[in-house]
Amino acid sequence: MITHLEGVLVEKSPAHAVIDCNGVGYFLNISLNTFSKLPENGRLKLYTHLAIREDAHVLFGFADKAERELFLQLISVSGIGPATARMILSSMNPEELHRTIVTRDLNRLRSVKGVGPKSAERILIDLKDKLAKEGLPSEIFSGPHNKVREEALSALVMLGFAKAVAEKAVDKALKEKGNTAAVEDIIKTALNNL
């Protein structure tokens, strides 16, 4: 599976982007949320999901892992395909969608084009508990220390801590230690916060 693409942005529109990766151009279907985060030109990295159908292989691109994770959660719901999931993510950013599902805001979900009452109800039933347990997608730390955050979070999860609890501890440690702290320092501080 292709997990991400990093290259030069060749073309973009509200529905797609083309990235040149060493001479190969990849066409990615994107949401409006991702489109709003794309630069005008230059290098970029998009997280991806390859949807394989009987008649086509369709590549979807996402500005961050949180949006890709919500996309994957949406397409796991019976009757929700990639096109509908992209439409939902174009109508709401990941934080709004997460809140909509956790608070069971049926009317907000039904307001998305292509999502009827039965589909909206099915999304809420299937995903409410999953998303409530995981906590809010947290991509609040960006820039060079985002990698430090991801590594520290991964280490704590591997040690057996719940993801939501580990995220809070790592975020608190990053606030205490600052952007230049080493991964080991962040993990030690986060463990003290748990």
pLDDT in tens, 51-87: 998 999 999 999 999 899 999 999 999 999 999 999 9
Q: Cβ(88)–Cβ(112) under 8 Å?
A: yes
Q: Where are the domains of the chain?
A: 4-62, 65-134, 146-193
Q: Cβ(68)–Cβ(37) under 8 Å?
A: no
CATH of domain 146-193: 1.10.8
Q: Which CATH superfamily is domain 4-62 in?
A: Nucleic acid-binding proteins (2.40.50.140)
pLDDT at residue 177 is higher than 50 = yes
Residue 137, pLDDT score: 53
Mean pLDDT value of segment 2-23: 94
Angle (nearest 5°) at CA 153 between 152 and 157: 120
CATH of domain 65-134: 1.10.150.20
Lowest mean pLDDT segment, chosen from 33-37, 56-60, 99-103, 131-135: 131-135
